[in-house]
Amino acid sequence: MANSTAHTLYAESQDGIYWIRPISSPVLNPGNYGTWDSHTVAPGPVIKDGQLYKMYYLGYSDPYGQYSIGLATSSDGKIWEKYQFPVISGSTGWERQISPHSVIKKDGVYYLYYVGRDQTGQDRIGVALSNDGTNWAKYSGNPVLTPSQSWEGTGVSWPGVIYENGTFKMVYMKVGYESDAFGMATSSDGKIWIKSDNNPIFKAENTSNGWASDDIAYPCFKSWQ
């Protein structure tokens, strides 16, 4: 996608299975030439906060450079207004390129889980916290999840996080030559995570011709709620 731009589209569903696109044109477009998101605006997590929808999206001007996270808001989920500058920026080391994946709000505090990728292409998971959903501080103990189990390959990515019954729960995917397994981790505070002893909790089919025989990717953990 180095020579093409990426936009964000809108679809809706009554059951989460069958989807329609009532709007044919993009609802979020790259910025003008010279802006930080002039090349790509890729959708990330959306949270409804009071009467306002907040979308955290991946944006960048150079596909080979630094990635950052932007914020757009909407009253109806269809017409969006972008903030001028990124709310979380990539830096150096493990989070040179970052992308947003899950956002939840608990007791007035927002938790945004993102993936950081270094120059070698390895992925790790970090978290940023906010009191208003706009001004964010990265957790000083980042990354909160790194590849430490043999099945995880060279990285962990695509975290889906919910808070349920007093516990933060995360599903995530393996990164490597094959993306063929999902893992799970839990946390009492959203920062320090313990991986399940039963990992991987879900694997690609061990067949030669199944539709999911090679790779599975992008776990979704009740992200519609």
Residue appearing with tokens 């903030």: 83
**What DSSP character marks residue 145?**
B
Q: With beta carbons less than 8 A apart as the criterion, state whether 51 and 44 touch.
A: no
Instruction: List the chain pLDDT tens, one digit each, 225 residues.
Output: 445 688 999 999 998 889 999 998 999 999 999 999 999 999 999 999 999 999 999 999 999 889 999 999 999 999 999 999 999 999 989 999 999 999 999 999 999 999 999 988 899 999 999 999 999 999 999 999 999 998 898 899 999 999 999 999 999 998 866 657 899 999 999 999 999 999 998 887 554 565 444 565 566 665 554
Q: How many CB atoms lie within 10 A of CB 27?
A: 18
Residue partners of 80: CB distance under 8 A and separation at least 6:
27, 28, 55, 72, 73, 74
Bridge partner residues of 54 (DSSP): 47, 73
Spans of all domains in the chain: 1-89, 94-225
Q: Cβ(186)–Cβ(145) under 8 Å?
A: no
Write down the pTM of the prediction.
Answer: 0.89
Q: Classify domain 94-225 at the CATH class level.
A: mainly beta
